[in-house]
Amino acid sequence: MNLSKEAKKELIISSALELFLQKGINETKITDIAEKSGVGVASVYRYFENKTNILICAATLFWQKEINKYYEMYNRDEFKNLNGLEKIKSLLYSFLEIYNHEPQFFSFLEQFDNYIKTEHVSSNLLKNYEENILNLKDLILVSIEQGKNEGLIRKDLNSSEFYITVTHSLMSLCQKLILRGDILESDNIICANAQIELLIKMSLNYISNK
């Protein structure tokens, strides 16, 4: 079957993503990707300079296909009709939804971050990937401003500081629970969902204009 250049490129990316999730990023080689895609190694290098370029495209695809679907509901009237604080609550609880239904996302993201850091990948190569992540940031910042105007969220809240701190905290907690959650006996005292939910409630309590 003859595929167009773009179709072949997409096939390589989707095959690579599947392998990264199954085998791990470090364990996946270009030869594995070529075999999975049904193309020659030379063809892979014809479309991608190296494994890093493939990985970034695969990570972007993961956000677009698997994660952004959780944000589709935020275009619906039922979300748009919520007040600002309720919107923040809904957005933060999406982490719990992803934790329960797409746990491989958090483990993949940790591998991705470690690989990018180890390989000293330039931030310029990550611009398209970052644009997909910023969908959540925009939703949170707009919702915070709405909540401030409604008198439901503290006027003195630094919105960007809150976004960065809370999303990083939730991301790190989810990764810890998935990858290193049962190292110690005491790790199992409180169930994972309860820990994530408590962090969300603490965050909402912090921004609430009591």
Give pTM, 2 decimals. 0.82
Render pLDDT for 46-97 as a digit per residue (tens, 0 to 9): 999 999 999 999 999 988 877 677 777 888 899 999 999 999 999 999 999 9
pLDDT at 183 over 60: no
> Domain of 108: which CATH number?
1.10.357
- pLDDT attached to residue 181: 57
Do residues 42 and 60 share a domain?
Answer: no
Query: Are residues 17 and 81 both part of a single domain?
Result: no
User: What are 99-145's pLDDT values in tens digits?
Assistant: 999 888 888 999 999 999 999 999 888 988 888 777 788 899 999 99
What residues make up the domain containing 32?
1-48
**Comparing C-alpha atoms, which of 141, 133, 130 is closest to residue 171?**
133
Residues 20 and 61 both lie in one domain: no
Residues 39 and 63 in one domain: no
H/E element, 9: helix 5-23
The pLDDT confidence band at residue 179, using thresholds 50, 70 and 90, is confident
103 & 122 share domain: yes
Which two three-digit tokens encode residue 167? Answer: 């999303």
- pLDDT, averaged across the chain: 90
